[in-house]
Amino acid sequence: MKWLVYELYPKAKVIQVVLDNLVTHKPAALYATFPPAEALRILNKLEFHYTPKHGSWLNMVEIEWSVYSRSLPRYIPNDEILVMDVLALTDEPNYRHAKIDWQFCSDDARIKLIRLYLPISDCRLRTFFQ
């Protein structure tokens, strides 16, 4: 976040960041990492937007990372071996056309996350969809 604020977007007034609900993705993590004044300076430039707890595409990414973390050895001596090991892990499910059984469909999302959706009666939406 410090890199994002000071190096990537130093002139931005506010940086909107989309995160999942991982405990390290909370403002308190900045206070655990930096002195309080520095953490506050960083936080003042950030606006957090959290993905729904059970509806995040990041869950699928986390599943993949879990497979890698369980399958790769703890120590990988160099980049070449890392690349070969990762390719071996990705080739097998890709060959099988493995899919994640994602059961949170759009209709369920509209019900569960109704507070995140604009009302259909909004005139801008009516104009857009007509």
Q: So where are the chain's domains?
A: 2-50, 55-130
| Rounded Cα gap, residues 27 and 38, in angstroms | 12
pLDDT by residue for the chain (130 residues), tens only, comes to 999 999 999 999 999 988 876 666 788 889 999 999 999 999 999 998 877 766 666 667 777 778 778 878 778 889 998 888 888 887 776 666 766 666 666 677 667 766 665 555 444 444 444 4
String of b and e for 60-96 (b: at least 16 CB within 10 Å)? Answer: eeeeeeeeeeeeeeeeeeeeeeeeeeeeeeeeeeeee
Residue 47: closest CA among 102, 79, 4, 83: 4
